[in-house]
A and B are shown apart, each in its own frame.
Chain A
């Protein structure tokens, strides 16, 4: 039987090569693993789980160009999840939460959790606060599914400006979530 590591890694690597459907399946499965992982990690903060799931998904997306095939995907994803979780704890400044051991990443891909809760923070609303040259590319390319060329024509931006706008916009979104921008 294929392990979660092998399965997810195959999907992720296909996604990096440009296979959007494989990438979608990867994010879908990762979401379930993250949910399970976080519900076990912060059982007393269940309301924050879905927000953190979304934040980690966005972070994984923004960092995906840094993955190297030679590394285990689990370790790479775990480092990102842990980084965002630490940031979250810092934000809450919860002493007891900081004592929660974050070291073992074996259980990240262990038991998935399928049941989504509601996110408290609305990423869609945060998106509206981005400057136009980032917001419009994300709106057209990522939400309406237009091509880069169509978006360029529609917005009067160059094609490379559309690509850069999407990329920077999603990074700016991650900073906004943490209240850093």
Chain B
């Protein structure tokens, strides 16, 4: 086929284009990811029994806020990286903010605590399983978000895959917060973050393979 014929083919019957394709795709993927993580959390781990009581505390909402801010930053990052030529932009700052806040807050708490209590603040009771639980809860969102990104046109596949993984894992962390009994910001800043980074790394690893077009 000559290039002129290809141009004819591409332009013939080329109607108006949906300019909100990105918003529509993520709009469909996010509820799916959230629902998947929630159902999986309820089925595998169970909602924490004292949820109603703990929901009265500021600390609980700080924990949700931490995951939510990371999810927001990841959403900004992935919706930009899913398009040719766009840079991560403000997503980077949005991502750094909750991490810095939790590290500063967690660090202050650990510094102020008696030496004997520090280990509990850092490791809690569930540090061994926490990152892997977040990994498990990320699975539905991972597929949903990757599907959305595939429908756009990422040109930096590793970065787009990493951001997609981070978004899925931040949503998973939100769901996991409804189960997880750990209430130390220092714990979140280490083990929640590690769980999210695990999925981010997986996204970076699989991005070039799953997102090619």
Query: Does A103 sit at the interface, judged by CB under 8 A?
Result: no
Query: Does B16 sit at the interface, judged by CB under 8 A?
Result: yes
In angstroms, Cα B153 to Cα A71, docked, is: 15
Query: Does B213 sit at the interface, judged by CB under 8 A?
Result: yes
Chain B stretch 1-24: residues in CB contact (< 8 A) with chain A: 1-19, 21-22
A105-140 Cβ-contact flags toward B at 8 Å (1 or 0): 000000000001011001111010000000000100
Among residues of A, the one whose C-beta sits closest to the C-beta of B212 is A180
Partner of A145, one of B1, B10, B13, B19: B13
- Kindly list chain B residues whose C-beta atoms are within 8 Å of the C-beta of A123: 1, 6
Say whether A31 contacts B7, CB under 8 Å.
yes
Count of B interface residues, CB-CB < 8 Å = 31
Say whether A17 contacts B6, CB under 8 Å.
no
Least CB distance, A54 to chain B, in whole angstroms: 5
Query: Does B31 sit at the interface, judged by CB under 8 A?
Result: no
A119 with B2: in contact, given A20-B14, A71-B86, A174-B213 (CB under 8 Å)?
Answer: yes
Least CB distance, B146 to chain A, in whole angstroms: 16
- Per DSSP, chain B at the interface is loop
Say whether B84 contacts A62, CB under 8 Å.
no
In angstroms, Cα B2 to Cα A125, docked, is: 12
Query: Does B198 sit at the interface, judged by CB under 8 A?
Result: no
A16 with B17: in contact, given A71-B86, A174-B213 (CB under 8 Å)?
Answer: yes
Query: Does B82 sit at the interface, judged by CB under 8 A?
Result: yes
- Kindly list chain A residues whose C-beta atoms are within 8 Å of the C-beta of B86: 71
- Kindly list chain A residues whose C-beta atoms are within 8 Å of the C-beta of B17: 16-18, 64-65
Say whether A65 contacts B84, CB under 8 Å.
no
Partner of B153, one of A24, A63, A87: A63
Least CB distance, B49 to chain A, in whole angstroms: 46
Say whether A66 contacts B21, CB under 8 Å.
yes
Say whether A31 contacts B84, CB under 8 Å.
no
A66 with B82: in contact, given A59-B213, A145-B13 (CB under 8 Å)?
Answer: yes
Least CB distance, B71 to chain A, in whole angstroms: 22
Query: Does B83 sit at the interface, judged by CB under 8 A?
Result: yes
In angstroms, Cα B11 to Cα A138, docked, is: 12
Partner of B85, one of A17, A24, A76, A124: A76
- Kindly list chain A residues whose C-beta atoms are within 8 Å of the C-beta of B14: 15, 18, 20, 23, 61
Say whether B16 contacts A17, CB under 8 Å.
yes
A147 with B3: in contact, given A63-B84, A71-B86 (CB under 8 Å)?
Answer: no
Least CB distance, A33 to chain B, in whole angstroms: 13
- Kindly list chain A residues whose C-beta atoms are within 8 Å of the C-beta of B54: none
Beyond A18-B16, A61-B14, A116-B4, 11 additional contacts (C-beta under 8 Å) are A15-B11, A54-B1, A58-B10, A62-B213, A65-B17, A66-B152, A78-B85, A79-B85, A80-B85, A83-B155, A145-B12
Q: Which 7 A-B pairs give the minimum distances between C-beta atoms?
A: A79-B85, A63-B153, A18-B16, A79-B84, A24-B11, A83-B155, A124-B1
Interchain Cβ contacts under 8 Å between A and B, 28 examples: A16-B16, A16-B17, A16-B19, A18-B15, A20-B11, A23-B10, A24-B7, A27-B7, A28-B7, A50-B3, A54-B3, A54-B6, A57-B7, A63-B84, A63-B213, A64-B17, A65-B17, A65-B18, A65-B21, A66-B21, A66-B82, A83-B84, A127-B1, A141-B12, A143-B9, A145-B12, A147-B13, A175-B212
